[in-house]
Structure 1
Amino acid sequence: MVLYPYQQRVRNHILQGKSVILQAPTGAGKTRAALAPFIEGFFDRPDSTPRKCLYVTPMRVLANQFYAEYRALADSYCRRHGRHLDVRIQTGEQPDDRRFEGDLIFCTIDQFLSSYLVMPYSLPYRLANLNAGAIAGSYLVFDEFHLFDPEAALPTILHALPTLSRLAPVMLMTATFSIHMLESLTSFLSNAEIVTLTRDEITAIDCRGGQSPRQRYWTAVDQPLCADAVLQRHQRSSLVICNTVTRARALYRELKQKVGQNTELLLLHSQFLPNDRRRIEGELQRRIGVNANRTCANVIVVATQAIEVGVDISAEVLHTELAPPASLIQRAGRCARYPGEKGEVIVYRVEKYAPYAFKPDELLKREMDTAWQWLHECKREIFDFTREQELVNTVSAPRDEQVIDGLNADRVNRSNYIHTCQQGNRRGASRLLVRDVDSRLVLIHPNPDQLLDSPYDAIGLNIPVYSLRAMVREWLQRSVTAPWRVKRLDERQADDRAESRQMVYHWVDVQDTKELDETAILVVHPVLAGYSEREGFLPDTGDLPFVSSLPSATTRIERALQPLQVETYTEHIQRVLQAFSELALPELRYAAPALERAANWPEGSLIQAAWLACLLHDVGKLSSAWQQWAHAYQQAINQPVAKHVALAHTAFDRQNPSHVQAQQQVSAKIPRPRHASEGALACAEIITEALGKQPSLTKATITAIARHHAPFVNDCQPFQLVPNADQILACTVQYIPSALRQHIKVNLLWKQSNINQIQQFGNLITTPDDQFGWMAYTLLVRALRRADQRGTGLGSGAL
């Protein structure tokens, strides 16, 4: 398919390594403009273009739509040409790529930013540092950029972009930013170009196929949105958009009492299970989608922002509550969407401004009020893209200026807060750095202990915290008989050891809504709340059939915790290095050289650091204490190993009671020591010498080794290695590329720590203040953890 002229301009910029800020109307093909150069580069320019693309959307429905479209295109291309592009999706409701391992990944802003901030919503705490390294060196596309929270997500993104855009192109796409905002954004990107469409280009796209342009009449009415107002205007198809799920649910129930038998009524919001959501979206497509016979329709759809973008439908009349101009324009895109159609957009006043604003002086509230005044003066006008831009430039420009001024004024404070979060202090981070409507997974079950095997995989609903607080207060106070009401998930490492591979989960009764900040998952007793396939999550209705459940064992997050087989140290290192070469090294193919150029490091140094990290990551297990524990455990399970053999893994099956009992008994007599930080310290001189005394890269490598089990460890315990540790290490050096072997000086291994080294260990840990060192750490620890997981799987026979 031939690209539009503006898409060709975007392609040329991206393939030249430039970032792009694109402004184009809805339906103009922005997604194709963004992805065409990535796909071309992926297949035809593998040495000079990014190997991974993260396509970030403000809403999961948009990610769902693009994923379905491009997964089908990639499958078709593979069948015809035998060339594979791994297309995946990662959202709260469809977490199919929790580790960001695909080539083209469609994800929501929550998933992206939480990973960047080293607090990924998709993974348990112990894997917190796994995903950040997938971002560096990836081609980043931010769609509907104007919809990102200007007080949380937007500033966090703009904090990240100056460094990330030095490694790979970044694309920001919008239909509704003011000119001031577009120009201001260029200062946050390295080597950026603004691409806009001429009036002739817009007309040509609107009239493709010989159709006449669509027409939408806008009206603002000074009354709240209600069922009677909808029914008075209804003819064949009406779309009603409320700002909150609570409002949408109430209006749906009101309409349900008043509509006639021949009128179909549908409800769609974010609190449906994925299968029901897809079913409802399918019903919408069949009734008012692009291929539907809309002249025969008689349907009223009540929805929230969930339908604002990505749902390809067209209604005759749109009833919408007042929202920021960007959102109103997106909503209008679901009315008279196709060429030749005419439609009506009616905007209603609101008393409450949630979820956009909660305080009287907030920027978005003032912008919404100004938008109302501007629209009220229009008196039923036809809005084309030019008129929509007038609305944005008139109403949103003042807020955009304040946002940019605020970003610049608060840059240091926000940077410090982001860095604090990246180092493990998460308190309040979701609300302040991602968006104020961060959510919690809510499960419904009478006996939630049945879900503890893998609670993050349990089927439930993601509910915004601002809504959940009111729900929890009501659940705690409602007059019902129940053995308990609401519980939160508490998680920690087994035996409180930071490096344990196992997590211990249990439920704690919720006494106060403040406890929502302390957990990612809640469970409510089914006498208090329920779920309906027609209305979604029902916080006010209990005793319904639905209860949360776990998926099959093969699809769970915790599936990596397979039974272990006994494995020697040399065997494990060989397998990890093999896994690194096959799995992790390809992901560094573009990112590592890009970071080396940006940081002015020697060519190939980051790849060398990655080999070093994998080679040396388990040196701490060569301590006398760790080997003593491992051999005692093998003896306790009646599978002894010769004392002279250095072990990396013992045989362990957590489903085997004798293994669990033996582990507890041996650990009571011989505490199993930590090994990650200790191995990092033991190898510090080896790493320093091998990397040519590059301080930032050396610290990044040491930090990656220290944190390949515990993502925020900063300390080190005393250790003493076995006498022949240097000889064992020398035996493993043969498994790295020959060109690197000469740089490994095994004689620099520290076999025993001293008090000064232990006290100074924190100085060897990299921090986000060193932007390139931190980025190198995220790449290295990701490569190491993926290689270690795969290598361990190879050793256990699980792969």
Structure 2
Amino acid sequence: MQLYPYQQRVKDIILAGENVVLQAPTGAGKTRAALVPFIEGFFDRPDTTPRKCLYVTPMRVLANQFYAEYRELAARYQRLHGRQLDVRIQTGEQPEDRRFEGDLIFCTVDQFLSSYLMMPYSLPYRLANVNAGALAGAYLVFDEFHLFDPDAALPTILHVLRQLHGLAPFMLMTATFSSAMLQSLATLLQPAQVVTLSAAEIAAINTRGGQPARQRVWQVADQPLQAAAVLAHHQHASLVICNTVRRAREVYAELKQQAPPETEVLLLHSQFLPDDRRQIEAKLRSRLGVSSQRQQANLIVVATQVVEVGVDISVEVLHTELAPPASLIQRAGRCARYPGDTGTVIVYPVETYVPYAFKPDEILKHEMDATLAWLKERQGAVFDFDHEQELVNAVSAARDQNIIAGIQADRHNRRASIQGCLEGQRAGASRLLVRDVDSRLVLIHPDPDQLLASPYDAVGLNIPLYSLRSMGKDWLQRPTDAPWRVRRLDESDAGDQAESNRPLYRWVDVHDSKELAQSAIIVVHPALAGYSAHEGFSPETGNLPFISTLPPARPLIDRPRSSLYVETYAEHIQRVLDAFQELVLPELRFAASALECAAGWSPGSVLRAAWLACLFHDVGKLSKGWQQWAHAYQQAIGQPVAKTIALAHTTFDFQNPTHRQAEREVSRSTPRPRHAAEGALAVAQILAGAFNISHEKELVQAILTAIARHHAPFVQDCQAFSLVSEAGNLIQNTLQFLPEEVNYSLNINDLWVNSHHHQQFAELLIKPTSRYGWIAYTLLARALRRADQRGTEMGAGQTLP
């Protein structure tokens, strides 16, 4: 299919290594414009273009649609080129790529930003530093940019793009930013080119195939939205969009009672399980999509913002509660969507402005009121893209300018907040830096201990925190015979426990709804809340059949709870290095080269740093204390190993009570010491001598930080240690596993075998204030942790002779 002229312009700019801010109408092919340069570069320019693309959306439904569409397209490219383009999705409801390991990843903005901020919503606390390194060197696309929270997500995204300037080409796309906002963004993100469409281009797209242009008539109602008004205007296909799930449930219930039997009423909102939502969306596309017989339908759909973007349907009448102009225009895109269609958009006043404004003096409330007044003056008008832009410029331009001015004025405070978050100061970070509508995973189960094996994998609902608080108050007060009401996940010991085989999680009873913000996962007793496939999450209705489960189909996050087998130090290092070469190196090459160029480091230095991080990551296990513990444990389980053999892993089966008992008893008499930070300190002088320390000191600090934090992501201290006498020889013997171009200037005699002076260890670690050093740390931490995990898996089943 031939590209539209503007799509060709975008492709040329992106492949030239420049950045784009694109404004184009709904239905004009923005997604194709963004992805064609990446896909062509992936197959045709493998050495000069990014190997990974993160396509960031404001809403899960948009990610779902693009994922389905481009997974099919990738299959066609694979047949054509004989190579795979790994397309994945990562959202709260479809966490299929929690570690951002795909080539083309569709994700929501909260998944993206939380990963950058080292508090990934998709991963437990101890894995906080795994995902950040996936961003540098990737091609970043932000779709429907106008829908990102202007107080939280938007300024944080702009900070990220400035930090990754020169390392991650990007594209911002929108249909409804004001002209002032477009130019301001381009200025803030210099260099970035603004691409817009001419009137002739828009007309050609809207009349493609020789059909007449679509036509929408806009009207304004006098009273808030009610079921009777919907039924009065209904012909064949009607869509009702409410601003909250609660309102959608209310209108749906009214329509179910009042609609004639032959009229089907469907409900769609964010609080459905993924499979049920996909079934409803598929049904909508089959009944109301581009190839459907819409004139034969008799269907009313009640929905929330989940249909604003990404659901490719067209109805005759759209009933929508008042929202900001950008949202109204997006909603209108579901009415008379296709060439030749005609339809009516009816906007209803609201009594409450939630979720856009919670207080009477908030600017979005005033903007919504101004929008309603502007529309009333044009009652019954037919709007095209120019009219929509007129609305945005008239109502939103002032706020857009204030947003940019506020972002500029608050840059230093935001930078400080982000840097604090990167160092582990998470309190309030989600609301301040990602979005105010913070969500929690809500599970339903009578015995939630059954989910502790991997609670982040459990099937549940993502509920906004502001909604969850009111639900929590009701659950804590409602009469019930249940033995408990609400619990939250406590993983406060996960960082310390990560190097052991003890449980990582526990449930803590919730006594006040304010406590719900303290955990990523909440569980409610099924006597108080339930779920149904037709209406979704029902916080007021208990004793329904659904309970949360751990899905058997995909690997669980908490792989350390699987069996481990005794493994020598040399065997483990060799397997980790093999895993690095096979799994990690292909992803790392482009990002490493871009970082070396930007930071002025010598060619190949970042890749060498990654090899050495993997080589030295477990040197701390060569301490006398760690080896004493490992051998005592093997003795306790009846599988002793000769004391002359240095171990990296011990045999452990979580299901084996003998192993669990031995681990507890040995740890009481011979506590297992930490090893990650201790190993980093032990090899600090070796690494300092292996690089040009005058120019690459930050890179050396990044390696030390990656090693120190390959189990606990925010460790700042180091315990005293003493390595075994043969440690130097053991490390020397592992150098054979390195490529020749890496194995130079390594003086193992610089190994620090004893340390009691560890109080100033934190000074060796890289800080977020070091731009390139911190980016190097994220790349190295990701590389090391992925290689270490894969290497450990490779060692499963291997035993000593």
Q: Give the TM-score, by structure 2 length.
A: 0.98
Q: For 1:502 and 1:394, how far apart are their aligned partners in 2?
A: 60
Alpha-carbon distance in structure 2 between the residues aligned to 1:292 and 1:542: 38
Secondary structure in 2 aligned to 1:740? coil
Q: Retained in 2: the 8 A contact 1:268–1:304?
A: yes
State how far apart, in whole Å, the 2-side matches of 1:407 and 1:666 are. 55
SS at match of 2:218: strand
Q: Which residue of 1 aligns with 2:664?
A: 664
CA 1:447/1:516 → structure 2, altered by over 3 Å: closer, same or farther?
Answer: same
2:335 corresponds in structure 1 to 335
1:751-793 CA distance string (max 9 Å, x none) = 11132xx121111111111111111100000000000001111
Asked if 1:550 is matched to 2:545, the reply is no
* Matched residue SS, 2:403: helix
One-letter code aligned to 1:623: S
**Structure 1 position 455 matched with structure 2 position 422:** no
- What letter corresponds to residue 72 of structure 1 in structure 2? E
Which residue in 2 is equivalent to 1:732?
Answer: 734
How far 1:178 sits from its partner (Å)?
0.7
Distance 1:101 1:494 in 2: 23
Residue aligned with 1:149, SS: coil
Shift of 1:480: 2.6
Which amino acid in 2 is paired with 1:391?
L
| TM-fit CA distance, 1:168 | 2.3
> Matches of 1:496 and 1:732 in 2, distance apart?
28
User: How does 1:604-615 map onto structure 2 within 5 Å?
Assistant: 604-615=604-615
Q: Aligned with 2:300: secondary structure?
A: strand
How much does 1:497 deviate?
A: 4.1
Offset at 1:642? 1.2
- 3-state SS, counterpart of residue 490 of structure 2: strand
Do 2:43 and 2:81's aligned partners in 1 also have CA atoms closer than 8 Å?
A: no
Moved more, 29-38 or 213-222: 213-222
Other-structure match for 2:715? 713
Q: Say if 1:493 and 1:501, in contact at 8 Å, map to a contact too.
A: no
Picking from 694, 697, 704, the partner of 1:695 is 697
- In structure 1, the partner of 2:272 is 272
Deviation at 1:524, TM superposition (A): 1.1
Q: Give 1:145-184 correspondences, 5 Å limit.
A: 145-184=145-184
Asked if structure 1 preserves the Cα contact closer than 8 Å seen for 2:494 and 2:505, the reply is no
CA separation of 1:187 and 1:773: change in aligned 2, threshold 3 A: farther
Specify the alignment match of 1:91 in structure 2: 91
Which is further off, 484-493 or 243-252?
A: 484-493
Instruction: Sort the Cα spacing of 1:749 and 1:496 in 2 relative to 1 into closer, same or farther, 3 A.
Output: closer
Name the residue aligned to 1:100.
100
Q: Any idea what the Cα deviations from partners look like across 1:546-587, whole Å, max 9, x if unmatched?
A: 111111175321235321111111111111111111111111
- Corresponding position: 1:426 with 2:437: no
Q: 1:566 aligns to what?
A: 566
Query: How big is each residue's C-alpha offset from its partner over 1:415-446, in whole Å with a ceiling of 9 and x where there is no partner?
Result: 11111111111111111111111111111112
Q: What corresponds to 1:704 in structure 2?
A: 706
Shift of 1:541: 1.1
Question: Cα distance, 1:490 vs. partner?
Answer: 1.2
Distance in structure 2 (CA, Å) of the matches to 1:494 and 1:659: 20
- Distance change in 2, residues 1:798/1:230 (3 Å): farther
Aligned equivalents of 1:440 and 1:696: distance in 2? 37
**Matching residue's letter, 1:4:** Y
**One-letter identity of the residue aligned with 2:243:** N
Question: Which residue does the alignment assign to 1:216?
Answer: 216
Counterpart amino acid of residue 199 in structure 2: R
SS at match of 1:741: coil
Q: Over aligned residue pairs, what C-alpha RMSD do you find?
A: 1.4
Could you tell which deviates more after superposition, 235-244 or 356-365? 356-365
Alpha-carbon contact 2:567-2:798 (below 8 Å) kept:
no
Corresponding residue SS for 1:257: helix
Distance 2:571 2:315 in 1: 64
The one-letter code matched in structure 2 to 1:754 is: H
Code of the aligned partner of 2:204: A
- Once the two structures are TM-superposed, the CA of residue 492 in structure 1 deviates from its matched residue by 4.0
| Structure 1 residue 754 corresponds to structure 2 residue 756 | yes
Q: Aligned runs of 1:175-324 on 2, under 5 Å?
A: 175-324=175-324
1:458 deviates by 1.1
Does the 8 Å contact 1:166/1:190 carry over to 2? Answer: no
> Which amino acid in structure 2 is aligned with residue 602 of structure 1?
S
Q: Secondary structure at the match of 1:219?
A: strand
Question: Are 1:655 and 2:655 matched, yes or no?
Answer: yes
Q: Distance in 2 between matches of 1:363 and 1:443?
A: 35
1-structure distance, mates of 2:222, 2:406:
33
Count of residues in correspondence between the two structures: 797
State the Cα distance separating 1:359 from its structure 2 match: 1.8
- Aligned residue runs from structure 1 range 27-66, under 5 A: 27-66=27-66
Q: Structure 1 residue 501: deviation in Å?
A: 5.9
What secondary structure is seen at the aligned counterpart in 1 of 2:491? Answer: strand
- Give deviations 1:607-631, integer Å, cap 9, x for gaps: 1110110011001011111111111
Q: In structure 2, do the counterparts of structure 1 residues 501 and 438 end up closer, same or farther at CA, with 3 Å as the change threshold?
A: farther
Partner Cα distance (2:497, 2:60) in 1: 36
> What CA distance in whole angstroms lies between the structure 1 residues aligned with 2:362 and 2:763?
42
Local SS of the residue matching 1:555 = coil
Q: Is the 8 A contact 2:498 2:504 kept in 1?
A: no
Q: What's the offset of the Cα at 1:188?
A: 3.3
Identity %: 68
Distance in 2 (alpha carbons) for counterparts of 1:298 and 1:748? 79
Paired residues of 1:10 and 1:195 also in contact (CA < 8 A): yes
Question: Residues 639 and 703 (structure 1 numbering): CA distance in 2 closer, same or farther, change over 3 Å?
Answer: same
TM-score, scaled to structure 1: 0.98
Moved more, 326-335 or 492-501: 492-501
Higher alpha-carbon deviation: 516-525 or 334-343: 516-525
Q: Does 1:394 align with 2:381?
A: no
Query: Which residues of 2 match residues 431-450 of structure 1 at below 5 A?
Result: 431-450=431-450
CA 175–57 in structure 1, closer or farther in 2 if over 3 Å, else same: same
Q: 1: CA distance between counterparts of 2:583 and 2:219?
A: 56
1:785 corresponds to which residue? 785
| One-letter amino acid matched to 1:350 | V
Residue 35 of structure 1 and its aligned partner are, at CA, apart by 0.3
Contact 2:495 2:711 in 1 (8 A): no
Question: For residues 559 and 627 of structure 1, do their structure 2 counterparts lie closer, same or farther at Cα, with a shift above 3 Å needed?
Answer: closer
The code of the aligned residue for 2:296 comes to C
2:522 is aligned to: 522
Query: Structure 1: which 5+ residue stretches go unaligned?
Result: none
Which residue is 2:629 aligned to? Answer: 629
Conservation of the 8 A alpha-carbon contact between 2:126 and 2:494: no
Structure 2, gaps ≥5 residues long = none
> 1:680 Cα deviation (Å)?
0.3
What is the deviation of 1:498? 5.7
- Once the two structures are overlaid, the 10-residue window that deviates more, 349-358 or 549-558, is 549-558
Secondary structure at 1:21 match in 2 = strand
Question: 1:541 maps to what in 2?
Answer: 541
8 Å Cα contact 1:708/1:785 also seen in 2: yes
